[in-house]
Amino acid sequence: MDIKGFWTWFAAHEQELREEVDLRDQNNSFCMQEMVALMHQIDENIFLEIATNPKKLPRKYNLTISCDGLKDSFMMVETLVNWAPPLEYWKFQAFIQPKGPLHETLNQPFTFNEYTILPKSLRFTVCNATEDFECFVLLLQLPISLRSMPPEVFDEHIFYLLFHLYGEKFIGENILDIETTFVETDEYDFYSLEELEEVLASFRDGYDLSRNKEQDI
């Protein structure tokens, strides 16, 4: 399967996809499963998600093509969207986009499994970086209320929380990994997630925002 073949298949089956989405059961959708299988023949790191707003007419369907923030697949995501055919009921989007203005999404609960996090309650610091300071490892301070949460559950969802705040492409380009702690340490200064872009820019310049001295991380 190549990109042209995928979109040829999609155009031929787009009505079936819309009907299955309207049934609100994408996990048991035969056509959706076939679409994902065909996409993984092109790039197994690509993810597809269809969304629609039934209250908004005329009804449109949004296909988001993403890659879990993996930079090696960025070009494939953008190429796929660029090759998408014009279809009356469809909009095609590259990467998971921010859910809204940052000051609003920070105050919107993020729920996964039975856990809920208010993004503004999270604080972070930079604890490591690549040699060229292009990508960073964050240390994220979690609220004590999440101490019972299995680490693997949080690891599975934390990047998606950041995608919803800052967008998948920004996070994929800038964040290499995320470590967690429940306590604040004197070794680092912690910041609110609202300051993420500013803090990363300051580390690229070689300075810490609060201490205003050269960093060695």
Per-residue pLDDT of the chain (217 residues; tens, 9 = 90+): 999 999 999 999 999 999 999 887 555 688 999 999 999 999 999 999 999 987 788 889 999 999 999 999 999 999 999 999 999 999 999 999 999 999 999 999 998 888 889 999 999 999 999 988 899 999 999 888 888 888 888 888 999 999 999 999 999 999 999 998 887 677 778 999 999 999 999 888 875 544 444 444 4
pLDDT of residue 16: 93
- Is residue 145 domain-shared with residue 84, that is, in the same domain? no
Amino acid at 158: I
Q: Is residue 60 part of a domain?
A: yes
Residue after which a domain boundary falls, among 48, 68, 94: 94
Rg (alpha carbons) of the chain, rounded to whole number = 20
Residue after which a domain boundary falls, among 94, 112, 128: 94
- Is residue 48 domain-shared with residue 137, that is, in the same domain? no
pLDDT of residue 74: 97
Residue with tokens 């994929």, as numbered in its chain: 172
- Is residue 30 domain-shared with residue 77, that is, in the same domain? yes
For the chain, what is the domain count? 2
Q: How far is CA 80 from CA 6, 58, 68, 196, in A?
A: 9, 25, 15, 30
| 183: containing domain | 102-204
Q: Is residue 173 part of a domain?
A: yes
User: Alpha helices of the chain — where are they, by DSSP H?
Assistant: 3-22, 30-42, 74-82, 102-105, 151-166, 168-174, 196-204
- Is residue 132 domain-shared with residue 161, that is, in the same domain? yes
Which helix (DSSP H) or strand (DSSP E) does residue 21 occupy?
helix 3-22
- Is residue 72 domain-shared with residue 124, that is, in the same domain? no
Between CA 148 and CA 9 the distance in angstroms is 45
Q: Is residue 209 part of a domain?
A: no
Between CA 16 and CA 71 the distance in angstroms is 32
- Is residue 147 domain-shared with residue 66, that is, in the same domain? no
pLDDT of residue 216: 47
Q: How far is CA 14 from CA 20, 22, 157, in A?
A: 10, 12, 30
